[in-house]
Amino acid sequence: MPQKKSDTIVKNPYRPILTTIEKITVENEAKDLKTFRLVFCSDEEANDFHFQYGQFAELTVFGIGECPIGIASSPMDREFLEFTVKRYPDGLVTNALHNCSVGTRIGVRGPLGNCFPMEQMTGRNVVIVGGGFAFTTLRSTIRYILHEANRAKFGNLTLVYGARSPGELLYKDELKEWEAREDIETHITVDKGDESWTGKEGFVPTVLEHVAPSPKDAIVLVCGPPIMLKFTLPVLTKLGFEPGEIITSLEMRMKCGIGLCGRCNIGSKYVCRDGPVFTYEQLQALPAEM
Amino acid sequence: MADSKIAKNKIPELIKAVSADYTLYGPKAEAGIVALGRIHSAEELMLDYRNSTISAKELFLPRAEVVYEFDGQKFVDDKLPDEKRVIFGIRPCDCRALALLDRNFDTDEVKDPFYVTRRQNTIVVALGCNQPLSSCFCTAVGGGPFGQEGADVLMGDVGDSLLAKAITSKGKDFLARYGKFFSTAGSGSWDKQAKEARDKMSAAPTLIKPAFGGSELNIENLKSHLDNLFEDEIWETISCKCLGCGACSYLCPVCYCFDLVDEKTASGIKKIRTWDCCMFSMFTHHASGHNPRSANFARLRQKIMHKFNYYTERYGVNGCVGCGRCIRSCPVNLDIRQVLEKIAAAPSATKEK
Amino acid sequence: MTAVEEEIRKTTADLLAEGKADIVIGFAAGSLPMRATPCFITEPEAAQQLVWNSYCLNNLAVYLPGYFVPAPSLKEEKPAPKVAIVVKGCDGRSVVGLIKERQILRENLIIIAAPCEGMLDVDITQELVGTNEIVCAQEKNGEVTITDEMGKKTKFSRKELLAESCRFCKHRAAPVYDIAVGELPQSKDALAPDNRFEEFLKKSSAERWEQFSREISKCVLCNACRSACPNCYCKVCFADQTRPNWTGSGGELRDVISYHLGRMFHQAGRCVDCGACVRACSMGVDLRTFTYKLVEDAGELFDYTAGLDLEHVPPLMDFNASDSDSFITEPE
């Protein structure tokens, strides 16, 4: 079970921890994806914050509201937390967040939710399939696995990641680093390249089928927009992955983030508490309501 | 434990004594409705009523409450609601609702400190029902006119006096503390009163009985019916007349879905928890514009499923106490009993998934 | 069963059988005493469910925009259906208003006008009866005999039990219709006097504000008033918008007031005074005193009454050089 802060009677679960924005990185050409690096205002709270890859936090822009965002930094990064946030045209909080500058106080409530199945992944080959900006918690996972203290615990690591165009790829510097490494097999693709793009061109499901990772002793984490998932899941099934070995992370409108307010449910499961990570097998048992 | 009773003409003295030690709440006439409000004197208290418009939920989960304040630099100290209260004279259905709400707000994994503190600091003195309304169906959902769940003390009106029985140790202490107003009652009179009330409920025509073949809803049956009905067209038929107004959820003693909003003040910001309703069209509206429940029938389905399927799955009990407020308050007379009847009769309910 | 009821059932069955309508909206018997409930008939045989009695209080026009404005749904988009609707005077006027505001396709609508001499309100009746629950009501010659759960019978004149908006309704017949059932009322006289509104008119500005604030403070923002009103068909109500955030939802009185002021003024010249908002209100807020003031103002300032014909343009959709601007030239 992911370690959470103790929920004794005196702790107020609605109250966030204070952080400040230390750095803002514009991730894409359209400039609507930014990575915010947050540092805790209190050392004690920084030390107490432990999370697993796949978890999320509710970010508070004071006076505006909260939004649930997956944690993009690795659990091994103790100095800061990173969140990559997309600005939606109608989004109240995402717009306010994108208008914030370095030094702004941001509230963090978390870590929330369950995580990618660490136990199931240890000792096995890990295949990571990501599309668009759903890549954030996958990035946290990769960073964790690649850390020298952890790498030996996992088998082969295969990554297939794609975006609409080269400018829309996230974490470009990191992608280059990973491509140069021996301990991760990287396949970066774009739907449509530009003049300077020398890499693969093609939709993620197509590239995945071509890469054809073996399902033997493997587990696959897949996150992406609904259209990508629609075509990727059949490919994974065709490759021989069992529904219990295909792991994904869901999104839902959330408020409390702790399973109390009754908003983010699919069937009897709360995406904020029983999820956001679900196996494909678990998803099939849930009502078709997404 | 011997049952007690208090003569009705002694109630004003009891109220005065209790008011000196606790903040007292109870049913009172207020602007044309029966409200559960502050009782300052015995004259205000109205025990001769059917049921309050707003349920006791409001006293534990207020319509709007501040969950934290931030002045720009630091948080203002959390003030938990530490008022010591007695709620006097609410109905067993509302008490049972509190026990159902406890399952959500007071768990081992996570507790809502505001709700839990209020529960700890409140003594609930319930008043059993001698006469059901035509919209009451508490016995069909596991409750009863003299149900004890959620109450610390349960009283029964026998004409010239009220019988009183301690249900919890909190209730026992309460009766001991104000013992001088009570006298012993014969144990027979309690059982007689409770049986009479229950018999009335059994005799009352309620729509659910024939549908579920008995006087009580078979929770497991209902849940498994609903398991198979998610994709069914029945929801579109049922929800035709529903306006999505939310009056049912707001008055329901168990409905608890809430929203968290920020409000700016001159000195900082307040985070406020307010009532919300799954029937509102924006309830599941994502910032991206996507809404998994954009159609009215999907929202009504969620409401019924939450109460009679998902809650049962998570907590082993359904989320309805049969108080009938939703039936009375619905502007279009959408009767939840008729909905459950239709669900029981739905043909695909018997199909294998 | 009355002759009118029989005619409504026959008309419905015929329309459906002949394929002239896909769905007929009317009333069926309610599950509680003195209630009727909206009913949607799609098969000729089901027309037997329809009733026409003194409890057909709801404004059915509220359902119409949903049939003609495509809503995102799980099923594929279908062509607009042919809808027939049974209306009284108030909902008939709502229908006219919605046609003028282009929320309904006139050519896809069949308006069935039914006679109305005012509907009875169960809450008003229950208040007069007392704590014992009403079990049944019987009407004869302008008198209503109420039997309570103890078997006690009380007689009332019909007038005493009328819904508030019905008491002073002057337009009891639908102004525009395709089929008329029974004898449509011709009289434009109110059925009973409107004392409460007269009291309000006598008050000063400060007193009116006090009454308004006091009433509105009972509101719990359940939005039932908005959901029941046929004129509130906006996809996203101004009160729910977050960008910009016009009114807060934290329950502060100023936000409750601004929501109601906004909603009421959006109704100016559109409200038909059907009373659906008041009856839907879960807390018994007296909205009608204020909404009716706007109905009167629209009449005085713009010589306009909502929903009487398809020709006149509602004041909020029009501008006229002769419109009163005394609020600028002679502010109070």
Query: Could you tell me if B174 and B214 lie in one domain?
Result: no
Residue with tokens 């029989």: C6
Asked if B117 reaches chain A (Cβ–Cβ under 8 Å), the answer is yes
Per-residue pLDDT 10s for chain B (353 aa) are: 457 899 999 999 999 999 999 999 999 998 778 999 999 999 999 998 999 998 999 999 999 999 999 998 889 887 888 899 999 999 999 999 999 999 999 998 889 999 999 999 999 999 999 888 888 888 888 888 999 999 999 999 988 889 999 999 999 999 999 999 998 877 677 788 888 888 877 776 555 544 444 556 666 678 888 888 998 889 999 999 999 999 999 999 999 999 999 998 888 999 999 999 999 988 999 888 888 898 899 999 999 999 999 999 999 888 999 999 999 999 999 999 889 888 888 876 544 44
Residues in Cβ contact with B294 at an 8 Å cutoff, skipping those fewer than 6 apart: B281, C71, C72, C73
Residue from C63, C123, C220, C240 to probe the interface with B (highest B Cβ count within 10 Å): C220
Spell out which residues of chain B touch residue A105, defining contact as CB-CB under 8 Å.
72-73
Beta bridge partners of C41: C24
Instruction: Tell me the pLDDT tens digit for each residue of C295-325.
Output: 999 998 888 999 999 999 998 888 888 877 7
Is the backbone peptide bond immediately before A276 cis, with ω within 30 degrees of 0?
yes
d(CA C300, CA C297): 5
3-state secondary structure of C260: helix
- In angstroms, the Cα distances linking A68 to A57, A134, A174, B226 are 6, 13, 24, 31
d(CA C7, CA C182): 8
Query: Could you tell me if B173 and B54 lie in one domain?
Result: yes
| pTM of the predicted model as reported, rounded to 2 decimal places | 0.91
Residues in Cβ contact with A245 at an 8 Å cutoff, skipping those fewer than 6 apart: A215, A218, A219, A220, A279
Query: Could you tell me if B131 and B273 lie in one domain?
Result: no
Distance in angstroms between the alpha carbons of the first and the last residue of chain B: 51
- Top CATH class of C1-119+169-193 equals alpha beta
Task: Judge: domain A118-249, CATH 3.40.50.80.
Answer: yes
Which tokens hold the place of A64? 């505006």
Q: Where are the domains of chain A?
A: 17-112, 118-249
Query: Could you tell me if B122 and B253 lie in one domain?
Result: no
- Contact yes or no for A62/A108 (Cβ under 8 A): no
CA–CA min distance B286, chain C (Å)? 12
Fold of A17-112: Elongation Factor Tu (Ef-tu); domain 3 (2.40.30)
Please compute, for residue C205, the number of CA atoms within 13 A of its CA located in the half-sphere on the CB side: 1
- Contact yes or no for A133/A45 (Cβ under 8 A): no
CA–CA min distance C331, chain B (Å)? 32
Query: Could you tell me if B338 and B316 lie in one domain?
Result: yes
Residue with tokens 């499961």: A269
Q: Extract long-range pairs of B103-112: CB within 8 Å, 24+ residues apart.
A: B103/B311, B103/B314, B103/B315, B103/B317, B104/A260, B104/A262, B104/B256, B104/B315, B105/A260, B105/B61, B105/B256, B109/A7, B109/A259, B109/A273, B110/A7, B110/A13, B110/A258, B110/A259, B110/A260, B111/A7, B111/A9, B111/A13, B112/A13, B112/A260
- Contact yes or no for C185/C115 (Cβ under 8 A): yes
d(CA A163, CA A168): 6
CA dihedral sign of residues C313, C319, C320, C325: positive
Which pLDDT score, from 0 to 100, does residue B351 have?
47
Query: Could you tell me if B178 and B219 lie in one domain?
Result: no
Query: Could you tell me if B82 and B197 lie in one domain?
Result: yes
DSSP strand pairing (C153-157 vs C143-148): antiparallel
Spell out which residues of chain A touch residue C242, defining contact as CB-CB under 8 Å.
65, 90, 92
CA–CA min distance A80, chain C (Å)? 31
- Contact yes or no for A216/A189 (Cβ under 8 A): no
CATH 3.40.50: which residues of chain C? Answer: 1-119+169-193
Domain that holds residue B333: 210-350
Domain boundary among B167, B184, B204: B204
Q: Dihedral angle at the C-alpha atoms of B180, B183, B187, B189, nearest 10 degrees?
A: -120
SS3 letters for C266-321? HCCCCCCCCCHHHHHCCCCCCCHHHHHHHHHHHHHHHCCCCCCCCCCCCHHHCCCC
In this complex, do B63 and C220 lie within 8 Å of one another by their Cβ atoms?
yes
d(CA A165, CA A163): 6
- Contact yes or no for B93/B249 (Cβ under 8 A): no
Residue from C22, C25, C31 to probe the interface with B (highest B Cβ count within 10 Å): C31
3-state secondary structure of B83: coil
d(CA C44, CA C18): 9
Spell out which residues of chain A touch residue C245, defining contact as CB-CB under 8 Å.
92
| Nearest chain C alpha carbon to B336 | C31
Closest Cα to residue B248, out of C131, C282, C185, C212?
Answer: C282
Residues in Cβ contact with A181 at an 8 Å cutoff, skipping those fewer than 6 apart: A146
In this complex, do C242 and A92 lie within 8 Å of one another by their Cβ atoms?
yes
Which pLDDT score, from 0 to 100, does residue B69 have?
93
Domain boundary among B204, B220, B242: B204
CA–CA min distance B307, chain C (Å)? 19
Q: Which chains touch A (3 or more CB pairs under 8 A)?
A: B, C
Residues in Cβ contact with C316 at an 8 Å cutoff, skipping those fewer than 6 apart: C266, C268, C269, C270
Domain boundary among B171, B204, B237: B204
Estimate the crossing angle of helix B336-345 against helix B296-305, to 10 degrees.
90
DSSP strand pairing (A56-61 vs A65-70): antiparallel
d(CA B19, CA A287): 51
CA–CA min distance A121, chain C (Å)? 36
Distance in angstroms between the alpha carbons of the first and the last residue of chain A: 26
Q: What number of other Cβ atoms are within 10 A of residue C155's Cβ?
A: 11
d(CA A172, CA A162): 12
Spell out which residues of chain C touch residue A65, defining contact as CB-CB under 8 Å.
242
**List of chain C residues with pLDDT < 50:** 72, 74
Which pLDDT score, from 0 to 100, does residue B341 have?
84
In this complex, do B273 and A267 lie within 8 Å of one another by their Cβ atoms?
no
Number of domains in chain B: 2
d(CA B109, CA B45): 39
In this complex, do B273 and A14 lie within 8 Å of one another by their Cβ atoms?
yes
What's the length of chain B?
353
**Where are the extended beta strands (E) located within A8-145?**
17-26, 33-40, 56-61, 65-70, 81-86, 105-112, 125-131
- Contact yes or no for A184/A211 (Cβ under 8 A): no
User: Exposure of A211 by Cβ count < 10 A (0-12 exposed, 13-18 middle, 19+ buried)?
Assistant: middle
Task: Tell me the one-letter amino acid at B349.
Answer: A
Residue from A41, A62, A66, A109 to probe the interface with B (highest B Cβ count within 10 Å): A62
Instruction: Tell me the pLDDT tens digit for each residue of C78-124.
Output: 778 999 999 999 999 999 999 999 999 999 999 999 999 999 999 99
Q: Which chains touch C (3 or more CB pairs under 8 A)?
A: A, B
- In angstroms, the Cα distances linking C309 to A235, C94, C304, C320 are 61, 11, 11, 19
Please compute, for residue A238, the number of CA atoms within 13 A of its CA located in the half-sphere on the CB side: 12
**List of chain A residues with pLDDT < 50:** 1-9
